[in-house]
Amino acid sequence: MIDINTQWQLNRDAQLCGSEDEQLVATRAMIDSALADAHTCLPGIIDSFDPDAQTVSVRPAIKKLRYPDNTQAEWVDLPLLVDVPVAVLSGKGYALTFPIESGDECLLLFSERALDVWYEQGGTGEQTSMRTHSLSDAFALVGVRSKPHLITDYNADEVELRSADGKTRVRLNEEGWIYLEQGDIRLAMGQGEIRLTAPTVTVDGSLVVTGSVRGDSSGAFNGDVTAGAISLQHHTHPGVQSGGSNTGPPL
């Protein structure tokens, strides 16, 4: 079975050399045939993910063109790759993990030597197989995207951890601000302050304030403040007689 690269090389060599150097043509065909099965990297599509083993089954996304009868070409699927280790961004006891599902795109990186012993034991060791650049020795780097799956509204100025649709984001910028955004809720932290914007804020537990509490820039709250059922703006004091005098301070 000859692939498209070998067939092209054979045709070119036949044109250049005619029948005078058949050994050169044959040698080149052998070399090209070997190189056609020396894999370096390919895009792939995730078939399934095992979070415990942190491996995926991946189907290479690019077919190979071969000539099974040396004349008629056909496109051939590469086999499903199983037990492929996922590249997890990590260092010094920390890791950044993402959920992976069927249909996610990835980049398959093929090892120069067999991975079996290293993958099972770690450290350094002797290779147990002489295979090189094989489909059996791949890593999956999840996150490579084709044009139909590009990230929308890509932020070119800040670091982001976000959902693909952009509805939930954590942003970090050069001014030292960190933003947490989800819909119409926004939490900003930086330059010595915390800003929270939300339609409703619920505190389930004790709220301890050791500093001052103020409203707008004038120091006033815009709106009423209620403690229990008592309104700050509209409460009354029973047992007093109307007149020109003021009540005493709050007790």
Whether 243 maps to a domain, the answer reads: no
- Residues 42 and 131 grouped into a single domain: yes
Q: Say whether 140 sits in a helix, a strand or coil.
A: strand
What range defines the domain where residue 132 resides?
Answer: 37-150
Domain assignment present for residue 218? The answer is no
Neighbours of 250 (CB within 10 A): 5
Residue 242 domain flag: no
- Same domain for 123 and 168, yes or no, is no
- Given 205, 226, 241, the domain boundary residue is 205
Cβ atoms 231, 224 nearer than 8 A: yes
pTM value? 0.71
Residue 82 is assigned to a structural domain of this protein: yes
Q: How many domains does the chain have?
A: 3
The reply to whether 44 and 103 lie within a common domain is yes
The C-alpha atoms of residue 148 and residue 163 are separated, in whole angstroms, by: 16
- Report yes or no: 80 and 58 within 8 Å, Cβ to Cβ: yes
CATH, residue 93: 2.40.50.230
Structural domain ending residue among the three candidates 132, 150, 168: 150
Residue 215 in any domain: the answer is no
Residues 71 and 24 in one domain: no
Based on the domain organization, do 144 and 156 belong to the same domain? no
Q: What are 155-181's pLDDT values in tens digits?
A: 999 999 999 899 999 999 999 999 999
Residue among 81, 33, 35, 26 nearest 55 (CA): 81
Q: 28 with 62, same domain?
A: no
Residues 80 and 21 in one domain: no
Task: State pLDDT tens for residues 26-65.
Answer: 777 777 777 777 889 999 999 999 999 999 999 999 998 7
Query: Quick check: 85 and 58 in contact, CB under 8 A?
Result: no
> Is 247 within the bounds of a domain?
no
The verdict on 43 and 144 lying in the same domain is yes
Q: Taking residues 174-194, what's their average pLDDT?
A: 94
Question: Tokens 């301890």 — which residue?
Answer: 208
pLDDT in tens, 92-138: 999 999 999 999 999 999 999 999 889 988 899 888 888 898 999 99
43 and 31 in a common domain: no
Q: Same domain, yes or no, for 90 and 175? A: no
Computed over every residue of the chain, the mean pLDDT equals: 85
Looking at the fold, whether 30 and 76 belong to one and the same domain comes out as no
Tokens 């939930």 map to which residue?
168
Say if residue 84 is in the same domain as residue 174.
no
Q: Is residue 26 part of a domain?
A: yes
Residue 41 covered by a domain? yes
